[in-house]
Chains A and B, each alone.
Chain A
Amino acid sequence: MKPAQNNAPYIAHPGGSDAAAGASSMTKERIVKDDGRYLIFYRFGCRFGKRSGDRAAEGADKAGLKEGRA
């Protein structure tokens, strides 16, 4: 079956303890350029690298992964 198309806004990724910082919602704005090509702005309600959840993200980098063998 064909995948169902998603209509924004949707999705919140809690990532680590990011939920405490407020889940981000994705929205998209579609425009048509002068030459007829479309362009979509995806926005997440935050500026990358600036929200408080990023410290949790860094923690997830370190704690969420283990290298090596079984």
Chain B
Amino acid sequence: MSELRWNPVLGEWVVTATHRQERTYHPPKDYCPLCPTRPGAFPTEVPAEDYEIVVFENKFPSFRRNPPEPAVGGSELYPVRPAKGICEVVLYSPDHHGSLATSEVSQIACLVDVWADRYAELGSLDYIDYVLIFENKGEAVGVTLDHPHGQIYAFPYIPPKPAVELENAARHKAKTGRCLFCDILDAELKDGRRVVAANEDFVAVVPFFARYPYEVHILPRRHAASLPEFSAAERWNLAAILKVVLQKYDNLFGKPLPYIMVMHQAPTDGKQYDHYHFHIEFYPPNRTASKLKYLAGCESGAGTFINDTLPEEKAAELRSVPPVTDDAGGFDGVPKEGGREAR
């Protein structure tokens, strides 16, 4: 059973998807459903002995192209609608033991191309208003399959968090005439204390308003609302800064750091969102090597996050963690001579 149930108190949809209770949960390593299908072995999700990057429809989706009718009747107070949408799984690599952090930049750049293609293809469907690309990494954030992979949820509506961002970005634009995220990027670069890494096209920061101790946002220097707007060279630099941030995460405590990675892009509902600005947000749950931050009373009950740390100190900590890169990358935005195709 799956359906959308309207919460009139918060003004948002809740997805019920009871079939997800049956989803594969930490299978033995030899029975990973996301590995290639080896000769003579059990058939996995991928009917091939090898692959580069694979995308497929989730076997246990929250949204479906052809959803069943809701199991309950709706009312004026409690509207209900079918959970129509698409849920995809993105396999980063055939290597079961790999991760985004250990991938070559060239491989991550290919993945960026795939993400851009999925955004365009799914977003072009008339019933898809928002494409959310994300990765849950590590058991601490509920991952049930270890194989390196991410997910895509194609929503039939704009979900609440991006909706709030869009409202605030529109309000800022109306008030100042400027992009909210461009102003945030300018402020972070001028201050500098919360910058973690940067290259010609992207900047990684622990934001001024970080909710999690090691929260990092990656923003493009150029104003762009979605992945397909980026040039090939920009996509490469996005891959490069993703790798650096993820390597820093894994070197922080000497073990792979769990995280949630989410891409925020313009909605695909056919309206104009020139005021919006693409960015990636990371929410690692760790506040120390062995302690996690929980979404407890204040966070879950009031929606207000308590951050036990200072973003300026956590950014300095992340800056000092390898890979500590040299000064040749044009941190001030000046392109490095040679090496990259002119844009």
> Which of A5, A44, A62, A70 is B189 in contact with, Cβ under 8 Å?
A70
Are A4 and B328 in contact (CB-based, < 8 A)? no
Q: Mark A1-29, 1 if CB is under 8 A from B, else 0.
A: 11111101011111111110001101010
Q: Chain B residue with minimal CB distance to A31?
A: B47
Q: Mark B178-219, 1 if CB is under 8 A from A, else 0.
A: 000000000001111101111110000000000000000000
B160 at interface (Cβ–Cβ under 8 A)? no
Cβ of A12 to closest chain B Cβ, rounded Å: 6
Q: A15-B239, A39-B46 are in contact. Are A66 and B54 (CB under 8 A)?
A: no
A58 to B106, CA, bound (A): 9
> Which of B45, B328, B339 is A66 in contact with, Cβ under 8 Å?
B328
Q: Mark B300-343, 1 if CB is under 8 A from A, else 0.
A: 00000000000000000001000111111111100010011100
Please classify the interface of chain A as helix (H, G, I), strand (E, B), loop, or mixed, using the class held by over half of its residues: loop
Task: Name the B residues within 8 Å of A16 (CB-CB).
Answer: 105, 236, 339-340
Are A5 and B195 in contact (CB-based, < 8 A)? no
What class of interface size applies to chain A in its complex with B? 35 or more
Cβ of B142 to closest chain A Cβ, rounded Å: 23
Q: Chain B residue with minimal CB distance to A13?
A: B232
Q: Chain B residue with minimal CB distance to A70?
A: B192
A13 to B105, CA, bound (A): 11
Interface positions, chain B 50-81, Cβ under 8 Å from A, are 51-57, 59
Q: Chain A residue with minimal CB distance to B196?
A: A67
Q: A13-B233, A70-B189 are in contact. Are A62 and B325 (CB under 8 A)?
A: yes
Cβ of B228 to closest chain A Cβ, rounded Å: 6
Cβ of B100 to closest chain A Cβ, rounded Å: 12
B158 at interface (Cβ–Cβ under 8 A)? no
Q: A15-B236, A57-B105 are in contact. Are A5 and B198 (CB under 8 A)?
A: no
Are A61 and B240 in contact (CB-based, < 8 A)? yes
B113 at interface (Cβ–Cβ under 8 A)? yes
Are A19 and B56 in contact (CB-based, < 8 A)? no
Task: Name the A residues within 8 Å of B286 (CB-CB).
Answer: none
Are A64 and B57 in contact (CB-based, < 8 A)? no
B104 at interface (Cβ–Cβ under 8 A)? yes
A64 to B200, CA, bound (A): 8
B15 at interface (Cβ–Cβ under 8 A)? no
> Which of B192, B196, B243 is A61 in contact with, Cβ under 8 Å?
B243
Are A66 and B192 in contact (CB-based, < 8 A)? no
A42 to B327, CA, bound (A): 35
Are A54 and B104 in contact (CB-based, < 8 A)? yes
Q: A42-B53, A64-B329, A66-B330 are in contact. Are A1 and B104 (CB under 8 A)?
A: no
Q: Which residues of B contact A (CB under 8 A)?
A: 45-48, 51-57, 59, 93, 103-107, 109-110, 112-114, 116-117, 119-121, 123-124, 126, 189-193, 195-200, 226, 228, 232-233, 235-237, 239-241, 243-244, 268, 270-272, 319, 323-332, 336, 339-341
Given known contacts A47-B52, A64-B237, what 7 new A-B pairs fall within 8 Å (CB)?
A: A3-B124, A3-B268, A12-B232, A19-B341, A54-B104, A66-B326, A70-B195
9 pairs from A and B in contact (CB 8 Å cutoff): A13-B233, A14-B236, A16-B105, A16-B236, A39-B46, A41-B51, A42-B113, A64-B336, A65-B240
